Amino acid sequence: MEIKKISKYEYMIEKTGKMKVPVRIFASEKLIESMKQDETFKQAKNVAELPGLIENVVLCPDAHMGYGMPIGGVAGFDLDSGVIAPGMVGFDINCGVRVLATDISKKEFMGKREKVIHDIKRTIPSGLGRGGKKYSREEIKQVLKKGAKWAVENNLGKKEDLERTEENGCIEGVKVEDVSDRAISRGLPQLGTLGAGNHFIDVLEIQEIYNKQELGLEKGNIAIMIHCGSRGLGHQIASDYLKIVEENFKGNISDKELVYAKIDSDLGKKYLSAMRAAVNFAFCNRQIIMHRIREILEKYFPGKKTKLVYDIAHNIAKIEKHLINVKKKEILVVRKGATRSFKGQPVLIPGSMSTESFVLIGKGNEKSFCSSAHGAGRAHSRSWAHKTLTKEKVKKILEKKDIVLEGGFKATIEESELSYKNVEDVIEVTEKANLSEKISKLKPLAVVIG
Amino acid sequence: MGKMKYKFLEHTADIKFQSEGKTLDKAFTNAGYALLEIITDKEKIKAIKKKKISVKGKDKEQLLLNFLEEFLFLLDSEDFVVGKIEKLKIKENELVAELIGDKASKYDFSNSVKAITYNEMRVEKKGKNFICQVVLDV
């Protein structure tokens, strides 16, 4: 496979075989080498075979192998001739990140660190029936339609939170009947829960401000980062529609995970409606978790102020207006492990458990359909972690960096920084390729995982 | 519980396993145990409650996917975790089984499995044995 170098931070896989468009890769030589280690490029080429694609399939600097579509992949589709594959958005619909800025200083926080982090761990259920509030089916249906707005209407947030959430925390075009009863049943006990795996809540110190913006971030204060998604409800919606689309699929593609329906078909519309329901559930989920954390902060640091910096999705399909051939056009943009990066919009890139996270500002680069990297990107498998690492080894790294961890044995081993790529490499390319620009660096002080 | 025959294979971002059995029923049962090992993180689950399930699929692969998905569904929606799979029988493309387990919230594990995927899924006969291969999204 030929990978053509266009510039220091941009590469291209030309159109060959069944590919309908080329693949554009934003990466350094080092990151290209790391992408070659798995099937990232092969998966991107499979995506490039789909009908109705616009311009190119994009790989962000943190791209790595997923299934169907690689993580860090972005694709744009024409609304008339294009298709939607549930496998592109994946199972964790609207998995995303939000950052809450505070005016609590690191010093104030460190005095109460253990108590606060323990309280957060206890208050925010990981989601297996432990402590989660059970909502009614009717309430969940409202959440599917209203997203984070529902939370604000029910005193679980402030109006200005919505202004600082992608899509204002609510995406239109949901028909609740497109969501199965099974999906709703899985969602009932899980609204306001974190989940396990790579989902986390971090307390971070704002270590550097590179470019002062009105985001509420002040050097030396703490911020909270929340990473989670649509939980079992979204997973079930993805599973349901993968099955239905597969049963109705008659095309010819290289990877069964990419079975698709036309965007303007009945099935395509139904999937998009159900997916949006999961998107709204996830926005509301992160809103409720943030509200609970605000309550905890108020208890330990009364009178201190908090401000939502931003909330972004990183597994989503959305109709957006983009500049295509010098004309503004509505297209369907699919981002899998990639975030929107409109001009002036905050972009959030978490590092791994014990490495720095970053807040950036979008540059609105149309070469990537205004998208940016979403994280450090996994480098090693979970089984590699269990074979190679011990809890003691991970604990030592955390101790050395003075980070407190509340989490189980499994996640501690699997999610350590040793399993991830260096986030600084990803940030460097993200900036140099003009996808987004660094605003602030945040250092983890305490971490909660499932 | 019988002999559990399954093994985990290398996969960068997710979890891949293969189960084996002299009959299709056994291979499916062992696939269930492989999934449970990941869900429960090897915690021992008490036999308190019994649930009968019946699952359909348009072919063997979908039947396996729907069977395994049932564990995630019961866990999320009914707070039920399975410890033992009994009387699993496959007839055509329909599966019945008895799942024996307990209230999940009584235990410490936190399930990291998001979904059962079609990725590299295989149900096949190899020599005398039946093999199921599954990739889990975690």
pLDDT at site A67: 82
Give the chain B residue nearest A92 (alpha carbons). B114
The domain that contains B123 carries what CATH number?
3.55.10.10
pLDDT per 10-residue tile (average), chain A, 450 residues: 94 96 97 92 96 97 90 97 97 97 98 97 78 84 98 97 98 97 94 90 97 92 97 96 94 88 98 98 98 98 98 97 93 97 97 95 97 90 87 94 90 90 93 97 94
Chain A residues within an 8 Å CB radius of B13 = 64-66, 71, 378, 381
Alpha-carbon gap: A419 to the closest alpha carbon of chain B (Å) = 10
How big is the CA angle at A55 (ends A51 and A58), to the nearest 5 degrees? Answer: 95
| DSSP conformation class of A395 | H
Tell me the C-alpha to C-alpha distance, in Å, between residue A145 and each of A84, A230, A279, A385. 21, 14, 10, 40
Residue labelled with tokens 């919606």? A237
Chain A residues within an 8 Å CB radius of B112 = 196-197, 410-411, 414, 450
Q: Which of A71, A190, A238 sits opposite B13 (nearest CB)?
A: A71
Distance CA B66, CA B62 (A): 6
Give the chain B residue nearest A234 (alpha carbons). B114
Position A38: which residue type?
A: D
Distance CA A232, CA B66 (A): 15
Tell me the residue range of the domain where A368 lies: 4-449
| DSSP conformation class of A135 | P
The answer as to whether B31 is a domain residue is yes
- What does each of the 138 residues of chain B score in pLDDT, given as a tens digit? 456 799 998 776 778 999 999 999 999 999 999 999 999 988 899 999 999 999 999 999 999 999 999 999 999 999 999 999 999 999 999 999 999 999 998 998 888 899 999 888 999 999 999 999 999 988
- Based on the structure, what is the number of domains in chain A? 1
pLDDT at site A386: 87
The closest alpha carbon to B24, from B123, B106, B100, belongs to B123
pLDDT at site A206: 98
Element (H, E) at A43: helix A40-47
pLDDT at site B54: 97
The closest alpha carbon to A234, from A311, A313, A333, A139, belongs to A313
Distance CA A93, CA A383 (A): 25
Alpha-carbon gap: A315 to the closest alpha carbon of chain B (Å) = 14
Cα diameter, chain A: 63
Could you say which of A118, A374, A380, A386 is catalytic?
A374
pLDDT at site B1: 44
Secondary structure (3-state) at A255: coil
- Active-site annotation holds for A118: no
Chain A residues within an 8 Å CB radius of B65 = 239, 243
Element (H, E) at A236: helix A231-248
| The token pair that represents A46 in the structure block | 């499979």
| The token pair that represents B10 in the structure block | 């290398």
The closest alpha carbon to B1, from B83, B107, B70, belongs to B83
- Based on the structure, what is the number of domains in chain B? 1
Percent of chain B predicted with pLDDT > 70 = 96
| The token pair that represents A274 in the structure block | 């159900």
Decide if A64 touches B, using CB distance below 8 A.
yes
The domain that contains A33 carries what CATH number?
3.90.1860.10
Mutate to test the interface with B, among A235, A240, A248, A419 (most CBs of B within 10 A): A235
The answer as to whether B19 is a domain residue is yes
Distance CA A374, CA A420 (A): 13
ipTM computed for the complex: 0.90
> Residues of A numbered 180-219 whose beta carbons fall under 8 angstroms of chain B's beta carbons: which are they?
182, 185-186, 188-190, 196-197
Decide if A375 touches B, using CB distance below 8 A.
no
| The token pair that represents A419 in the structure block | 């399993």
3-state helix, strand, coil in chain A (%, to 5): 40, 30, 35
> Can you count the helices (H) and strands (E) in chain A?
15, 19
Chain A residues within an 8 Å CB radius of B135 = 67
Tell me the residue range of the domain where B18 lies: 11-137
Cross-chain Cβ contact A235/B114 below 8 Å: yes
The answer as to whether B93 is a domain residue is yes
pLDDT at site A231: 94
The answer as to whether B129 is a domain residue is yes
